[in-house]
Amino acid sequence: MYVKKRREECVLFLDEGFSAESVATRLRTAGFTVQRFPEWFQDAEGQPMKNVSDSDVIRFCSRNGWMLVSRDHEMKNMHREQIRKSDVAILATAHNSAENQDEWVVAIINLKARILREFRKHERPWFATFSRGATIKVQTIK
């Protein structure tokens, strides 16, 4: 099957679990283009919104052509229909038991070349999980 190679820039959209400015700074320093949840989902007072549905975030990332980076490895199961109807790429931690978020950030940095390649070449929508040991498993959602 022929998959159209994408030319748009890979923008990582850090959901609430990864939205600390320090995480964004480290990923930017590593060469990623990054957008953060609190910058886009704000209430009337300019504060980060609470309880935004995963479906809204998935649609937002799909519409913008951004890769959603999440700590919710169950998103694929919980929102399969929403993902299937979108054009999104989602990168999620393999599990949510790491005490130190730094381990996940290091893994993303170590996986940079693979993440960028999958973003451009893998048929969408897709969902990938990555480990702290810098392995990644990508699955097209049909």
Report the distance separating Cα 35 and Cα 37, nearest Å: 7
Confidence of residue 91 (pLDDT cuts 50, 70, 90): very high
Q: Residue 18 corresponds to which tokens in the numbers above?
A: 């990864």
CATH class of 11-140: alpha beta
Residues 98 and 72 sit within 8 Å (Cβ to Cβ): no
Confidence of residue 95 (pLDDT cuts 50, 70, 90): confident
Q: Residue 114 corresponds to which tokens in the numbers above?
A: 């693979």
Bridging pattern class, strands 11-14 and 67-70: parallel
pLDDT for res 115 = 97
Of the given ranges (31-35, 64-68, 91-95, 126-130), which has the lowest mean pLDDT? 91-95
> Residue ranges of the domains in the chain?
11-140
pTM of structure: 0.92
